[in-house]
Homo-oligomer: A and B are copies of this chain.
Amino acid sequence: MTSSRLLTSLATTPEMADLFSDPSIVKTFFEFESALVRAQAMLGMIPASAADTISRAAAAEGFDAEALAREARFSASIAIPLVKALGARVAASDSAAARFVHWGATSQDALDTVMSLLISRAKPILERDHARLAKSLLALSDKHAGTVMLARTLLQPALPTTFGYKVAGWYGSVARSWRRLNESFREAVTLQFGGAAGTLAAYGRQGTALATALGKELKLPVAAAPWHAHRGRLAALVADCGIYAAAVGKIARDISLLMQQEVGELAEAGGGSSAMPNKRNPAGSVLALAAATRVPGLVAACLSAMVQEHERAAGAWQAEWPVVADTLQATGSALAAVAGAIEGLTVYPERMRANIAATHGVIFAEKVRMLVQPKLGREATERLLADAAREAQETARPFREVLRSRPEIISILSREQLDGVDRPEDYLGAAEEFRKKLLEE
């Protein structure tokens, strides 16, 4: 068998890759087929012995995934060769039982349910890593509630803020996104069972009873009706993965920017380079940003695929599997990477303070403006402050000192006001209040 782990080594985690590997898919597919016959036997629709034989055959291993994949292309369905392979196994030992393999079901029932089951198994992985990330962010935010740093807008220094508040913003964003995603998982994980045309006609009056029994066997909720061509729940899951991955990507963007040598406010643990022994790369952030780059296109594909024809689509449905699996894997990869990055993060509060200082205090111009403009008027204030800011930057003198040289300023601001004008701690506004509210979200 030929593995394919290298191509996607940065696009998934080993755990997620295993989940969508051939052995996992075969096993899950046969779980469906096995549960189906067990439920049918229970309802007296097929002989119990047939169900036993089929279940036993379904538990076996050793299917040739490459051959199955090759065959799938002829019918545009991987279910057909899988059912055939199972049927052949059963027939080898019990030709009577073989008659009841996949009894009355349609390919899509099996394939959609398989994907539902795989999704249900992806969820605890994401949930665990989300909990890790959330916990680390909470702790980090609390620890740095009083650590002042530059807020930056359009990549330029704006005003002081705290690192704790910044982290709380990250936390709030992933927490909100997780709530959505969690709900989407709940809705998307659903039995698919409608038979050839979504009516379960093959089972006569027993159709919905069988659906209920099958759902119970597989521990999957049963929707109001089959959803062969109504894919909104799946698309919602994919879209909410997209939102979550982007929220994680935003954290990664910030970390990678704050790790720039010239900024130097954060460092991830790890991240070596093949050619440069001196380098410390934002490896975790890179993985998350790679995911955030890819996922939007996957979401678009999934939405495009929602426009399906009639009771089963010709093309759009068949496009979904890799889209859904890639999205879950990319989200898992981003999440695991950033959870690790946050856990191992080193923070340099002194660099944060130094970067504020390197502005010479001109970032406090707004503070002065609020005090001065009511008296001087807008234009005079803007002119005065822009001029003072320029002088501070050009002469590398504290803005505070430059302001002290301006008669208009000293006529309005007291000595105490001027002395403290550039103390970051005094100009944080509601940062701590917002921080706490975000963490409570």
CA distance A11 to B169 in the complex (A): 28
Stretch at the interface among A51-59, A132-140, A153-161, A412-420: A153-161
A268-294 contacts to B, CB under 8 A, are 270-294
The reply to whether B434 and A224 form a contact with Cβ atoms under 8 Å apart is yes
The reply to whether B301 and A69 form a contact with Cβ atoms under 8 Å apart is no
**A441 contacts the other chain (Cβ, under 8 Å)?**
yes
Known: A202-B366, A362-B278, A370-B104. A2 touches B23 (CB 8 A): yes
**A398 contacts the other chain (Cβ, under 8 Å)?**
no
Residue of B nearest to A153 (CB): B312
Per DSSP, chain A at the interface is: helix
A interface, how many residues as a size bin? Answer: 35 or more
Known: A201-B427, A230-B172, A366-B276. A318 touches B10 (CB 8 A): yes
The reply to whether A22 and B10 form a contact with Cβ atoms under 8 Å apart is no
CA distance A1 to B4 in the complex (A): 9
**A359 contacts the other chain (Cβ, under 8 Å)?**
yes
| CB-contact partner of A202 in B26, B73, B204, B367, under 8 A | B367
**A353 contacts the other chain (Cβ, under 8 Å)?**
no
Q: How many whole Å from A312's CB to the nearest CB in chain B?
A: 4
Residue of B nearest to A203 (CB): B429
List 15 A-B residue pairs with CB atoms under 8 Å apart, sorted by A's residue number.
A4-B17, A7-B322, A91-B378, A99-B373, A154-B313, A202-B366, A236-B243, A278-B365, A288-B315, A290-B319, A294-B319, A295-B303, A296-B303, A296-B304, A298-B301
